[in-house]
Chain A
Amino acid sequence: METKRYFRYFTIADYEQEEKWINNMSRCGWNLVRTNGLIYTFEKGNPGEYIYKIDLPRESMTNVEADAYYKFMEEFDIEVVTTHKMWRYLRKKSADGPFDMPNNAMAQLSMVNRAYGVATKLTNTLIVIFALIILLLTLVLNLVDGVAAAFITGMVTSLGPSALVAMAIILVPISRRLRIRMNELMDEIQVKG
């Protein structure tokens, strides 16, 4: 089977662009089969045979519930092609019709909300990891002296804050964009019902 590999990076807030790109590839006869979030592997197929959709299970879902959810999808001939972390790459035959009504604001809002949940979880996890590293280094600091102590002090005072700033520069705008999108969709729902 002829395959093609692409290197791409999409942030949490860019899953809609990612979906568009994958669907463009599919229209050209390249069907996504695998991804690890950076390398996307496509297999040669019939142009436009499949449509793809990126999905996330709800945060409240346990693994068993998520399995039941994707099992339910199978009834609609929707298959999970590949999974990367919580992200599920779904596809169905385009002849069977679209995944959803075009511009279904309620469904879009639900998806943005789930993506926002992923961003929040990531931010919280990183904060906890940094806090633990700083705590650990501070504890070690009490046990050593001299050059080692100076080195650790340097690490805690420079690396810790700069890592937090880097995180803020990357993750805060992602959360902000997702929040703005949620507000837009909520305004739309106010009008459309």
Chain B
Amino acid sequence: MQENTGIVLTEAVYYILLSLTTPLHGYGIMQKIEDMTHGRLIVSAGTLYGAINTLLERGWIKQHVTAEDSRRKEYVITDEGKKVLKAELARLRQLVEHGEATLAKFNFNLSITLV
């Protein structure tokens, strides 16, 4: 049994955490998510701002401090954030397994009634 944190991430937060496996600033996060999802998911500036603050508070991401004084703040995922991401991935896998198993059974029953 995989670790169950009881946490369900929104799609936006899931992709924000994924994108922050490398340090990025706000606009960079949005661009990376757009690239990753081939333009399917666009995280708005408002959503991103709220999510970044919440994730900082929870300690799932932190500010990335660079040697050069950058005008824009950069963020990066923490170990705690990686743990949450792993647990979410396990949960998503389970969703897919349940779906596939149920649909496979449904197809099987259907084929019997047809015969």
In the bound complex, residues from chain B placing their C-beta under 8 Å from that of A2 are none
Tell me whether A101 and B41 are in contact (CB under 8 A): yes
Q: Give the contacting residue for B47; candidates A69, A78, A107, A193; CB below 8 A.
A: A107
Tell me whether A55 and B46 are in contact (CB under 8 A): yes
In the bound complex, residues from chain B placing their C-beta under 8 Å from that of A100 are 42, 44, 46-47
Tell me whether A75 and B46 are in contact (CB under 8 A): no
Which residues of chain A have a CB within 8 Å of any CB of chain B? 55, 69, 72-73, 75-76, 78, 97-101, 104, 106-107, 110, 193
**Identity of the chain A residue whose Cβ is nearest the Cβ of B72 in the assembled complex:** A75
Tell me whether B10 and A106 are in contact (CB under 8 A): yes
Q: Give the contacting residue for A75; candidates B25, B42, B50; CB below 8 A.
A: B25
**Identity of the chain B residue whose Cβ is nearest the Cβ of A72 in the assembled complex:** B49
- Assess whether B17 is interfacial by the CB under 8 Å rule: no
How many A-B contacts at CB < 8 Å in the complex?
41
Of the listed residues A69, A75, A97, A107, the one surrounded by the most CB atoms of chain B closer than 10 A to its CB is A75
Q: How far in angstroms is the closest Cβ of chain A from B90?
A: 18
CB-CB nearest 7 A-B residue pairs: A100-B44, A76-B45, A75-B27, A75-B26, A73-B45, A72-B49, A101-B42
Q: How far in angstroms is the closest Cβ of chain A from B86?
A: 21
Tell me whether B47 and A104 are in contact (CB under 8 A): yes
In the bound complex, residues from chain B placing their C-beta under 8 Å from that of A97 are 42
CB pairs A–B below 8 angstroms (22 shown): A55-B46, A72-B26, A72-B49, A73-B45, A73-B49, A75-B26, A75-B27, A75-B72, A76-B26, A76-B45, A97-B42, A99-B46, A100-B42, A100-B44, A100-B46, A101-B42, A104-B44, A104-B47, A106-B47, A107-B44, A107-B46, A107-B47
**Identity of the chain B residue whose Cβ is nearest the Cβ of A78 in the assembled complex:** B45
- Assess whether B30 is interfacial by the CB under 8 Å rule: yes
In the bound complex, residues from chain B placing their C-beta under 8 Å from that of A104 are 44, 47
Of the listed residues B26, B27, B46, B50, the one surrounded by the most CB atoms of chain A closer than 10 A to its CB is B46
Q: How far in angstroms is the closest Cβ of chain B from A86?
A: 15
Tell me whether A99 and B49 are in contact (CB under 8 A): no
Q: Roughly how many angstroms separate A73 CA and B49 CA in the complex, as a whole number?
A: 9
In the bound complex, residues from chain A placing their C-beta under 8 Å from that of B50 are 110
In the bound complex, residues from chain A placing their C-beta under 8 Å from that of B45 are 72-73, 75-76, 78, 99
